[in-house]
């Protein structure tokens, strides 16, 4: 697992002086800095080499974020974005710094030592670091930027009482993150405990049969519990997908999901809910 307090830095000869200032302000803020060089500005170096080295470290998850500096930041961003798993943002102003995190979940920032004064570049850097990814709104778009290995097993769970568009969109998203999608549904007893009397309106056998007919679903299992904690620990999928308005961190804590399992949140689709559909039917 990556260390969230570690951040990698690299530059070309044009960015050495600013890299030293950035490293100091990051250390003062509590980060553990991994300086990949170069360390002197007198000798010319190829920005591509440093961008690829830092990109590889970020892309494979050794650190969560990285900082690249050259004259304009352009060359660094082009080179870094060729590395799988890197979302490098070329940033020259404060608004782009914040939006590249909130909207794009950028994990590398590329700064231009020639473009801004050091004071502004430092402010841009700290703005970028302090902004959070808006996963509730933007996760679907960001995940389309990555290539997801077909060897990955993806897991999601729920009651799935009456299947609606929100469910289908969530299943489609979950399937896009790997090769096989396992859907776990609560038993009738557990579903009644979660949803109350009168639920589920369809049996676990019917709910399983309907889900098995969905093209995105590879396997459906029934589990007799409120939370999927034990099942996740038994299956150890690569990714767990949950729908709703929670954050990945909140879901990890709530369902006690192991650190080695990725958690992705699929935002709610419109006003779709089984409860509202059932309420409408009963009124009629």
Check if 70 is active-site.
Answer: yes
What CA–CA distances, in Å, run from 91 to 102, 106, 108, 180?
A: 14, 11, 10, 37
- 193 sits in the region (left: phi over 0; alpha: psi -120 to 50; else beta) called alpha
Instruction: Say if residues 217 and 176 touch (Cβ distance below 8 Å).
Output: no
Strand partners, 262: 239
In 103-243, which residue ranges form alpha helices assigned H by DSSP?
118-130, 135-143, 165-176, 188-195, 204-212, 229-235
CA dihedral 160, 162, 163, 166 (to 10 degrees): -80
Residues with Cβ within 8 Å of residue 75, at least 6 apart in sequence: 12, 47, 48, 51
Name the catalytic one among 33, 70, 110, 170: 70
Check if 170 is active-site.
Answer: no
Name the catalytic one among 103, 138, 148, 164: 103
Q: Any idea which residues carry the catalytic annotation? A: 70, 103
């Amino acid at each position: 697992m990556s260390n969230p307090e570690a951040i990698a830095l690299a530059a070309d000869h044009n960015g050495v002086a600013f890299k030293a200032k950035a490293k100091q302000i990051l250390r003062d803020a509590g980060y553990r800095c991994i300086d990949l060089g170069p360390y002197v500005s007198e000798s010319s170096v190829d920005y591509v080499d440093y961008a690829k080295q830092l990109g590889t470290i970020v892309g494979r998850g050794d650190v969560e974020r990285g900082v690249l500096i050259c004259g304009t930041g352009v060359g660094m961003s082009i080179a870094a974005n060729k590395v799988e798993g890197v979302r490098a943002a070329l940033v020259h102003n404060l608004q782009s710094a914040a939006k590249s995190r909130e909207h794009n979940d950028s994990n590398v920032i590329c700064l231009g030592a020639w473009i801004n004064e050091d004071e502004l570049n430092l402010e841009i850097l700290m703005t970028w670091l302090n902004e959070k990814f808006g996963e509730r709104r933007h996760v679907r778009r960001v995940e389309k930027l990555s290539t997801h290995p077909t060897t990955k097993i993806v897991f999601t769970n729920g009651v799935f009482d009456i299947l609606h568009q929100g469910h289908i969109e969530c299943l489609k998203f979950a399937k896009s993150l790997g090769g096989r999608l396992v859907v776990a549904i609560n038993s009738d007893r557990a579903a009644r405990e979660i949803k109350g009397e009168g639920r589920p309106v369809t049996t676990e056998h019917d709910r399983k049969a309907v889900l098995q007919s969905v093209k995105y679903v590879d396997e459906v299992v029934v589990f007799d519990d409120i939370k999927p904690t034990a099942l996740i620990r038994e299956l150890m999928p690569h990714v767990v997908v949950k729908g709703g308005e929670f954050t990945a961190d909140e879901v990890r804590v709530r369902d006690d999901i192991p650190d080695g399992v990725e958690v992705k949140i699929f935002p709610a689709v419109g006003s779709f809910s089984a409860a509202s559909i059932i309420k409408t039917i009963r009124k009629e």
